[in-house]
């Protein structure tokens, strides 16, 4: 008698891990304990840190995805987990105009916290590079400024900068001088060796190179066209928003901040702008035409009027 196996009625998952976006790559992945709030209990999930997102994955589907730009704070706390006290990373984020948080317990706590901080919160400015460079010798300072300009370089490129300095000596400079100086200034290393990584601007693959970590400051922004005009009675903000439709965008006001978010799959981003003056949360206008988002925000006539803490208002208009 031939036994015919029964076919499962459950659908077969086509993907056992998250589908990555264009230019996205995984930095860290591990099984972790997660807790979304103080009421819920701890659950086991796969955690993926990419250069764009932090993804919690359970039963072949994402249970939470946070853009790195939406993360605004990290804290460490201790919790009783799997029969012992463990360190947890409490991750605070801003999404759709609302604040949220979740806690994460991973095997390599310090590595996860450092990588999340470097990817989401570390802001590299020219002033910061100068502060670190002032603590270094000539060769180490030259390496740091070169990576500030180029973002990445091979060990051969860096060696030529330093009069063909021996590779071992150069690596020693990075390990024992540059990164420790950065650790003292910003709390973490800022140079990392990557076997493979895509250049975020050109999309070209870069192999076996040293990279300057963190997000560029005002001197090196995302390249999105932005103009802010201070008119009588209102601010006019014009922002380039390519490859998105009006239904993909959310615009929020929070005290003196303007928050613009795109939720389109593959084109998720969040931009936060601080305006030089408080504004009126009511009767503002937004328009979208030919890839340009125009936002008209009325100024607050009573600049001394009290404001509520974290008062988020969604802008409605002609979008």
Residue range 110-136, pLDDT digits in tens: 889 988 998 888 888 888 899 999 999
pLDDT value at position 37? 77
DSSP structure class, residue 148: H
Q: Which residue has the higher pLDDT, 230 or 241?
A: 241
pLDDT range class, residue 264, cuts 50, 70, 90: confident
Q: Against a cut of 0.85, is the pTM above it?
A: no
Which of the following CATH numbers is that of domain 26-121: 3.40.50.720, 3.40.50.1820, 3.40.50.1000, 2.30.29.30? 2.30.29.30
Task: Give the Cβ contact number of residue 13 at 10 Å.
Answer: 9
Query: What is the Cβ-side half-sphere exposure of residue 313, based on CA atoms within 13 angstroms?
Result: 19
pLDDT at 220 over 70: no
pLDDT at 142 over 90: yes
**Strand pairing partners for 236?**
229, 296
Task: Kindly give the interhelix angle for 179-186 and 126-133, rounded to the nearest 10 degrees.
Answer: 120
Which of the following CATH numbers is that of domain 123-219: 2.60.40, 1.10.10, 1.20.1510, 3.30.310? 1.10.10
- How is the chain split into domains, by residue range? 26-121, 123-219, 222-314
**Strand pairing partners for 290?**
none
Burial class (CB in 10 A: 0-12, 13-18, 19+), 4: exposed
Order of all β-strands in the sheet with 191-198: 152-153, 205-212, 191-198
Architecture per CATH, domain 222-314, reads as Sandwich (2.60)
pLDDT, mean of residues 7-36: 72
pLDDT value at position 1? 38
Q: What is the pLDDT of residues 85-113, one digit of tens each?
A: 999 999 999 888 788 999 999 988 988 99
CA–CA separation, 74 and 130 (whole Å) = 26
């Amino acid at each position: 008698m031939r036994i015919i196996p029964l076919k499962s009625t459950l659908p077969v998952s086509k993907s056992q891990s998250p589908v990555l976006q264009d230019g996205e790559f995984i930095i860290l992945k591990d099984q972790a304990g997660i807790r979304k709030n103080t009421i819920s209990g701890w659950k086991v999930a796969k955690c993926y840190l990419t250069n764009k997102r932090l993804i919690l994955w359970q039963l072949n589907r994402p249970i939470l995805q946070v853009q790195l730009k939406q993360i605004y704070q990290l804290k460490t706390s201790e919790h009783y987990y799997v029969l012992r006290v463990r360190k947890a990373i409490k991750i605070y984020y801003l999404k759709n105009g609302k604040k949220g948080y979740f806690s994460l317990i991973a095997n390599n706590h310090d590595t996860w916290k450092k990588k999340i901080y470097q990817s989401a919160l570390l802001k590299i400015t020219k002033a910061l590079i100068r502060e670190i460079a002032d603590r270094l010798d000539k060769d180490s300072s030259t390496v740091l400024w070169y990576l500030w300009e180029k973002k990445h370089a091979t060990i051969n490129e860096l060696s030529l900068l330093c009069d063909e300095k021996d590779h071992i000596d150069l690596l020693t400079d990075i390990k024992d001088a540059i990164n420790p100086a950065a650790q003292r200034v910003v709390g973490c290393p800022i140079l990392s060796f990557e076997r493979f990584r895509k250049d975020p601007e050109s999309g070209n693959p870069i192999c076996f190179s040293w990279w300057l970590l963190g997000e560029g400051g005002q001197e090196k922004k995302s390249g999105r066209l932005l103009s802010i005009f201070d008119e009588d009675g209102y601010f006019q903000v014009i922002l380039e928003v390519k490859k998105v439709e009006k239904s993909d965008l959310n615009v929020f006001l929070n005290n003196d901040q303007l928050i613009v978010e795109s939720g389109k799959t593959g084109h998720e981003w969040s931009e936060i702008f601080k305006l030089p003056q408080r504004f009126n949360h009511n009767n503002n206008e937004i328009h979208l035409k030919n890839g340009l988002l125009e936002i008209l925000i009325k100024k607050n006539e009573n600049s001394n009027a009290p404001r509520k803490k974290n008062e988020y208002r969604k802008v409605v208009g002609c979008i």
